[in-house]
Amino acid sequence: MLRTLRFDQTVTRTCRLALNHHVATRRTLISSQRPLFVLRAEQSKGGYKQAKDLLKTIEEKQSIDKKKLEPIRPGTKTLWEKVKEEAVHYWHGTKLLGLELRRTTSDIVRVVPFAVFLIVPFMELLLPVALKLFPNMLPSTFENKKLEEEKRRKLVKVRLEMARFLQETIAESGAISDKSDTISTESAQEFANFFRKVRMTGDQPSTKDLLSIASKFEDELTLDNLSRPQLVSMCRYMNMNAFGTDNFLRFQLRNHMRHIKMDDKVIVSEGIDNLTIIELSHACVARGIRTLGNSPSRLREELKQWLDLHLEHQLPSTLLILSRAFSYTDNNMTPEDALRATFNSLPDNLVNEAELQVLETIGASTYKQKLDVLEQQQELIEDESEQEEKEEKARQAEEEEKSFTKKISARDISLKENEKDEDVSLSNEQRGDLQKALSNLRDKVDNLEQRSQLNEIKFHYEDYKDLIEELKVATHNESNSNTLRLGHRLEKMLEDIEKELEELENSSNTDNTTT
């Protein structure tokens, strides 16, 4: 009875229309955040027509997908096409056979001199000398340890590029496709007009506007647009090492922000009241909160404000730390006043780039805004190049002074040592040791570069995973199966790359100890 049961087409069609109308109502209810009776009143006029149009588009897409999924039957090939394919196949095969024969014959000719070392007794002791004098005696299949390590390094580089490509593929696979829908044109215009009002007219914005604008800043964007003095001062404020290049300082701060975010989640899950006084003070110090002269209850309130702004309102940790720096000397300053002071102190290039990024998400950016941002970036690059030139000139002047003093001292010493005829040139052993040291140093530099690339890929992938989890919690939707499959493959590839890098580092360390 169940198999012979059939529904009428009109009944199924009305059910599908009702279901589509319910889904459309639900989507508009979530996106607009308005009461349900208002939406029902608005959609009672043209809801049936919208659902009917939606049904038509869905049926058209399904018909197109069915046509695409139909297997394409290959046409029958003629006798001439078959003969041509076979002839091409045999032609390539004969060329490959000729190349292999040529290579094997050359290897056999190279192996013939080794018979002398096998026949003559104790001749194999001179084999290293012969290979040093005639390195072409080795066959093409011979692989030196150094060549093998170079091949492994090249393979690691290729895998790193592949991992980066997989990461970009996962990011662009549609798992965060609804991000641009959450940003409306009104919020983008509010963001664009916020800084103009604050900086030109001096109006005091409300707390709601401050939180909504601050949530649109990202840690990556903020750190990339901070100057070196700001990066150095931020590292010193966070009790971190302030030595190294700008990229190293940014990388160090990004890792610190990531650890702070993970620690915030752990503190929220365990509860602030369960923290001991030592743990509370350590957590406040890591977040730039003043601990000297504050009671534990005051520290708990400050930490609660941090967690509320960071996790609930999605404010970036860099802005929060900068705001804490402004309120460090004044305990009576509220977080809103600290955020206002932080916004007033932000550089113009950071504000313009953030504004452009928000407008690009909705397609409302203009060429003039892009041109202004590019000009500001060019000015920053020119300023950095000028600073580098000044530093280079200062270094050259110092080196010239040092060389001049060295020349004078060398003349005095040469006058005294003219009587001695000692050969100061490097010997062959010293040159060989110097070449080995340089090659080992080059290998270490390559390993460090590959390790930094791997850490960067891991860092971006962890941020992506956190963002996906937040989207799952917000939208109650599961990720795409293809995206999950690519993610597992990327994790496995990163583990393999890390193992190979560890093996290369261990082999280079053993070589250094043996030498």
Q: Please, are residues 441 and 434 in contact by the beta-carbon 8 Å criterion?
A: no
Residues in the chain: 515
Q: Is the pLDDT of residue 479 over 60?
A: no
Q: Is the pLDDT of residue 305 over 60?
A: yes
Identity of residue 364 = A
* Other CB atoms within 10 Å distance of the CB of residue 457: 19
Look at residue 309 and give its three-state secondary structure.
Answer: helix
Q: Is the pLDDT of residue 87 over 80?
A: yes
Domain assignments of the chain as residue spans, ordered by start: 9-67, 91-128, 148-177+437-515, 184-361
At 486 the pLDDT is 67
Lowest mean pLDDT among 39-48, 128-137, 365-374, 477-486: 39-48
At 436 the pLDDT is 76
176 — pLDDT class (breaks 50, 70, 90) = very low
Q: Is the pLDDT of residue 277 over 80?
A: yes
H-only helix segments in 207-276: 207-214, 219-224, 228-237, 246-270
How far CA 276 is from CA of 245, 279, 281, 353, 389, in Å, comes to 37, 5, 9, 42, 52
Q: Which of 7-11, 55-59, 169-173, 486-490 has the highest mean pLDDT?
A: 486-490
Q: What is the mean pLDDT of residues 486-511?
A: 74
The structure's pTM equals 0.37
50 — pLDDT class (breaks 50, 70, 90) = low
At 25 the pLDDT is 53
Q: Give the CA count within 13 Å in the CB-facing half-sphere of 11.
A: 3
Closest CA to 461 of 169, 154, 159, 157: 169
d(CA 268, CA 1): 57
At 27 the pLDDT is 54
Query: Between 372 and 506, where is the model more confident?
Result: 506
Lowest mean pLDDT among 341-350, 370-379, 416-425: 416-425
Close Cβ partners of 459 (under 8 Å, ≥ 6 residues apart): 254, 255, 258
* Other CB atoms within 10 Å distance of the CB of residue 487: 20
The one-character DSSP state at 17 is H
Close Cβ partners of 153 (under 8 Å, ≥ 6 residues apart): 446, 450, 504
Q: Please, are residues 123 and 117 in contact by the beta-carbon 8 Å criterion?
A: yes
Enter the tokens of residue 111.
């192996």
At 45 the pLDDT is 46
Q: What is the mean pLDDT of residues 154-175?
A: 57
Enter the tokens of residue 20.
């589509």
Q: Please, are residues 349 and 225 in contact by the beta-carbon 8 Å criterion?
A: yes
DSSP letters for 397-416:
HHHHHHHHHHHHHHHHHHHH
Closest CA to 230 of 352, 350, 382, 376: 350
d(CA 146, CA 157): 17
Close Cβ partners of 52 (under 8 Å, ≥ 6 residues apart): 17
d(CA 482, CA 293): 54
Closest CA to 176 of 461, 467, 460, 459: 467
At 32 the pLDDT is 47
d(CA 332, CA 312): 23
